[in-house]
A and B are shown apart, each in its own frame.
Chain A
């Protein structure tokens, strides 16, 4: 039997398709991005080796807004961690206590998650529309006409206006992760808290939260990495504008690669995005020790 299970030919045969595709479309392209990033190249002419010049240009005396794009992604990440996740946690801890309509709310809160971000972006584009948008319509209806504006056309309001749909879409996703984790906890600890006279709020903060640390960590990683990779909603809503107010690393990268045809420089952006993803998830894992 051991001989059958270590049949080399069979192992290679079973592994080959997955390995070949993984190698061709993940490992090789990522490494090639690294190679391009050390060169100056427009895709047509000759490729000149420039060392780390592209990387230096990204951070020192940067003129195309890469540093502010990283900053915007950071703001999106902060909003996700400190607005979206607390909302998700509130709903998860309420729903895990068997309230009326539990199944209904779980189903409804997850609907935006399954809709394409492209659709979500188009929908919110219409909500924030300056002339006929839902938001201005509702503001006018309650007498706050002076607050109405073209939300996405003003640099001050554009970034919050693209963050809202991002939060709106994924609250349900994080909620479900946390809800599943809370449901998996033993009911004894809640019983003990109840006997000790803890309020619901105290129970949520002191009992539930520390006990679902592993899943909170997953949520924080997803929220931060997701913000760093956010593309669809921002590209569809503002293309990074107005005047770069909502530019994030991915939108800038696509522009640099496919509009400006600066393949080396754009690849350096890609490499920084991968590095930031790896580094941040490592950091969060370090920061959130889970036994």
Chain B
């Protein structure tokens, strides 16, 4: 018996190493640059350029972080990104649930045509709208305001959000509406008391997904806002890097400030974040 088992066991161990090695190498390739960024953010140029670039800093220079908040405007950028993202999430969730209710639960002739129109919007790239949006916002004096980002971000997140809501809303049995109607609820009663409370999973998916999109967006952020006091993180980093390009420590500290909140939040709810990021794509 023992002899019979041995080769099998050996094969399994060899198999485990064979799959673990590529996985471990890729994990290292993914984590090492991030580790490198973090150690650089605590070093002075002198230390980096004198050859100690990959090991831990000899002196932990927290002043790099102090510098990017004091002279690099990072606090403002963080706040702007936070505000823009938060309002975008609120608008997208509210409008998507409302539209999805009309499309997937109410009865009217053009509902499927309207649904296809929204879904077609998923394919339209942001770039296609850039110049007209820029000119239009200029005309109505919204250029260089937070709305210049919030409104386009809302528009471009809506199609996927509506798709996600439709999926969930169609899975709610119709009898529930009927029961509520019999209890004397109007259409708004059904919407607010029955449907909205059931949409929580969709809201969390939409929030995560919209967060990542607007938090990380660069093109619109860079063109539609010029005012340093209103810039969001991505565009802010761009101007910070432009001004302090030779100061590696502070630049890396700024990059770390922009990413660490997202990474920490992600580590706490990685499963949910992953599901949200793929929710929209799988349904296409």
Question: Within 8 Å CB of B114, what residues of A?
Answer: 15, 19
Residue A146 lies at the interface, judged by CB distance under 8 Å to chain B: no
Contact A18 B238 (CB under 8 A): no
Interface positions of B from 101 to 127, Cβ below 8 Å from A: 101-103, 105-108, 114, 117-118, 121, 123-127
Residue A99 lies at the interface, judged by CB distance under 8 Å to chain B: yes
Query: Which of the residues B131, B212, B233, B273 comes within 8 Å of A263, measured between beta carbons?
Result: B131
User: A interface, by DSSP: helix, strand, loop or mixed?
Assistant: helix
Question: Within 8 Å CB of A253, what residues of B?
Answer: 127, 130
Query: Which of the residues A26, A254, A257 comes within 8 Å of B124, measured between beta carbons?
Result: A26
Give the nearest-CB partner of B154 in chain A: A21
Question: Within 8 Å CB of A187, what residues of B?
Answer: none
Contact B33 A124 (CB under 8 A): yes
Nearest Cβ in chain A — how far from B75, in angstroms? 17
Contact B219 A18 (CB under 8 A): no
Residue B199 lies at the interface, judged by CB distance under 8 Å to chain A: no
Question: Within 8 Å CB of B186, what residues of A?
Answer: 4
Size class of the A contact interface (CB-based, 8 Å): 35 or more
Query: Which of the residues B108, B125, B188 comes within 8 Å of A11, measured between beta carbons?
Result: B108
Question: Within 8 Å CB of B156, what residues of A?
Answer: 25-26
* Stretch with Cβ within 8 A of B (4 or more), from A30-38, A57-65, A153-161: A30-38
Residue-wise, chain B 251-284 has the 8 Å CB interface mask toward A (1 for contact) of 1100100110011001100100110011001101
Chain B interface (Cβ < 8 Å from any Cβ of A):
15-16, 19-20, 22-23, 26-27, 29-31, 33-34, 36-37, 40, 48-49, 53-54, 91, 94-96, 98-99, 101-103, 105-108, 114, 117-118, 121, 123-133, 135-136, 151-152, 154-156, 158-159, 162, 177-178, 181, 186-188, 190-191, 212, 215-216, 218-219, 223, 233-234, 237-238, 241, 248, 251-252, 255, 258-259, 262-263, 266-267, 270, 273-274, 277-278, 281-282, 284
Contact B131 A257 (CB under 8 A): yes
Most B CB within 10 A of own CB, among A8, A126, A215: A126
Across the A-B interface, give the 6 residue pairs with the lowest CB-CB distance, nearest first. A25-B155, A29-B129, A18-B99, A29-B132, A14-B102, A116-B216
Interface positions of A from 157 to 201, Cβ below 8 Å from B: 168, 171-173, 176-177, 180, 200
Question: Within 8 Å CB of A33, what residues of B?
Answer: 128-129, 131-132
Contact A274 B16 (CB under 8 A): no
Contact B121 A116 (CB under 8 A): no
Instruction: Tell me, in angstroms, the Cα distance from A101 to B17 when the chains sit together.
Output: 12
Interface positions of A from 232 to 273, Cβ below 8 Å from B: 232, 235-236, 250, 253-254, 257-258, 263, 266-267, 270-271, 273
Question: Within 8 Å CB of A132, what residues of B?
Answer: 48-49, 53, 248
Q: A29-B136, A115-B262, A116-B234 are in contact. Are A235 and B23 (CB under 8 A)?
A: no
Residue-wise, chain A 55-87 has the 8 Å CB interface mask toward B (1 for contact) of 000000000000000000000000000000001
Contact A99 B19 (CB under 8 A): yes
Contact A1 B178 (CB under 8 A): yes
Residue A218 lies at the interface, judged by CB distance under 8 Å to chain B: yes
Contact B278 A177 (CB under 8 A): yes
Question: Within 8 Å CB of B95, what residues of A?
Answer: 17-18, 21
Residue-wise, chain A 82-102 has the 8 Å CB interface mask toward B (1 for contact) of 000001001100110101110
Query: Which of the residues B15, B129, B158, B266 comes within 8 Å of A21, measured between beta carbons?
Result: B158
Query: Which of the residues A87, A122, A232, A254 comes within 8 Å of B255, measured between beta carbons?
Result: A122
